[in-house]
């Protein structure tokens, strides 16, 4: 019986989670190996693994992986360093919010991918352009989410701090910032996920290295096994960085879980 909102046992949860992956791959194997779709359009799981192995061993694909990881983290760090202080300032000081919020809200909807042609004109097709695509895609999102979180800091904590003698400056540094630190870290984790999307788009256009480049290159040779392998690698790295980020947050902010 499925009772609404009734928790599932941890063991069952793992089994169910793995089961879907198994079913998914089984279905994929069935339609490809069983000859239900044309090989040209979709490689089967086995040749995908074979293609992937060959990519890694012969084509030094791991270099592409490293360069993509560097681009994601580089662009993301750049965006964070700019966005976190601005977001906190907007959340904490209402005039700053009134000044920047309309523009940031507008800029948030500018698609990062549409900036690629411009960014290529400005920064060429080197690393800087890749970093800027990720920067443009992430920075406004981070600013806005953090501004909202900081703006909703518990008022009673702020009031308590004032009655304990905190100055306006002390409130920002020793109440607003620590109170929102876990939420800010959580926001960064979320946006890092989006950054992975932007990097691939950046690498599909005017690039000569990276996972995205490999994917677009494979398309012209109809190497669907390689494309799928590249996509899976992105998924795995995303998953790993997500786990690492979560573990870091748990370690940094034990008080928010306790």
Partner 1 sequence: MSKLLIEGVSRTFAGVGGGQPVQALQPVDLAVAANDFITILGPSGCGKSTLLRIVAGLEAPSTGRVLLDGKAVARPGPDRGMVFQSYTLFPWLTVAQNIGFGLRERGMPERERSDIVASYVDLVGLNGFENHWPKQLSGGMQQRTAIARALANDPEILLLDEPFGALDNQTRGLMQELLLGIWERRKKTVLFVTHDIEEAIFMASRVIVMSARPGRIKSDVPVDLPHPRHYTLKTSPEFSTLKAQLTEDIRIEAMRTAQTQSA
Query: Residue numbers of the site for partner 1 (CB under 8 A)?
Result: 154, 156-157, 159-167, 170, 174-175, 178-179, 181, 253-256, 258
Task: Please state, in angstroms and rounded to a whole number, the distance separating the CA atoms of residues 166 and 162.
Answer: 5
Q: Are 211 and 200 in contact (CB under 8 A)?
A: yes
Considering the complex, state which of residue 121 and residue 258 has its C-beta at the smaller distance from partner 1: 258
Q: How far is the CB of 96 from partner 1 (least distance, A)?
A: 21
Give me the least distance between CB of 251 and partner 1, in Å please: 14
Nearer to partner 1, 94 or 174 (CB): 174
Residue 124 vs 178, nearer CB to partner 1: 178
**Would you say 170 or 206 has its CB closer to partner 1?**
170
| Contact present, 228 and 142 (Cβ < 8 Å) | no
Euclidean distance between CA atoms 213 and 205, whole angstroms: 8
Count of CB atoms situated within 10 Å of the CB of 104? 20
Place of tokens 């920064």: 123
Q: In whole angstroms, how close is the CB of 166 to partner 1 at the nearest point?
A: 5
Q: What is each CA distance from 209 to 8, 17, 59, 109, 216, in whole angstroms?
A: 44, 34, 12, 28, 11
Closest by CA to 140, choosing from 102, 173, 92, is 102
Q: Is the CB of 163 or the CB of 220 nearer to partner 1? A: 163
Strand, coil or helix: what is 125?
coil
Six token digits for residue 65: 């992986």
Nearer to partner 1 (CB atom), residue 40 or residue 257: 257
Q: How far is the CB of 91 from partner 1 (least distance, A)?
A: 17
Closest approach, Cβ 161 to partner 1, in A, equals 7
Q: Do residues 163 and 44 lie in contact, with contact meaning Cβ atoms separated by under 8 Å?
A: no
How near is the Cβ of 87 to partner 1 at its closest, in Å?
19
Find out whether 183 and 87 touch, Cβ atoms under 8 Å. no
């Amino acid at each position: 019986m499925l009772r609404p909102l009734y928790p599932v046992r941890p063991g069952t949860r793992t089994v169910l989670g793995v089961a879907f992956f198994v079913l998914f791959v089984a279905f994929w194997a069935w339609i490809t190996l069983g000859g239900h779709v044309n090989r040209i359009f979709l490689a089967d799981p086995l040749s995908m693994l074979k293609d992937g192995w060959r990519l890694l061993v012969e084509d030094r694909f791991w270099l592409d992986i490293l360069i993509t990881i560097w681009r994601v983290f580089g662009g993301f760090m750049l965006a964070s360093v700019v966005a976190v202080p601005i977001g906190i300032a907007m959340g904490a000081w209402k005039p700053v919010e009134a000044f920047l919020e309309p523009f940031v809200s507008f800029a948030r909807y500018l698609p990062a991918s549409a900036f690629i042609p411009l960014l290529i004109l400005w920064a060429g097709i080197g690393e800087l352009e890749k970093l800027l695509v990720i920067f443009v895609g992430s920075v406004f999102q981070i600013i806005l989410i953090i501004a909202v979180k900081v703006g909703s800091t518990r008022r009673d904590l702020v009031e308590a701090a004032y009655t304990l003698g905190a100055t306006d400056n002390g409130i920002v540094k020793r109440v607003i910032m620590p109170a929102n630190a876990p939420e800010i870290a959580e926001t960064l984790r979320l946006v890092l996920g989006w950054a992975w999307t932007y990097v691939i788009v950046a690498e599909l256009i005017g690039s000569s290295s990276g996972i995205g480049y490999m994917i677009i290159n494979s398309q012209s040779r109809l190497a669907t096994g390689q494309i799928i392998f590249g996509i899976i690698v992105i998924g795995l790295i995303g998953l790993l960085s997500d786990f690492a980020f979560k573990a870091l947050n748990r370690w940094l902010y034990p008080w928010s879980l306790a």
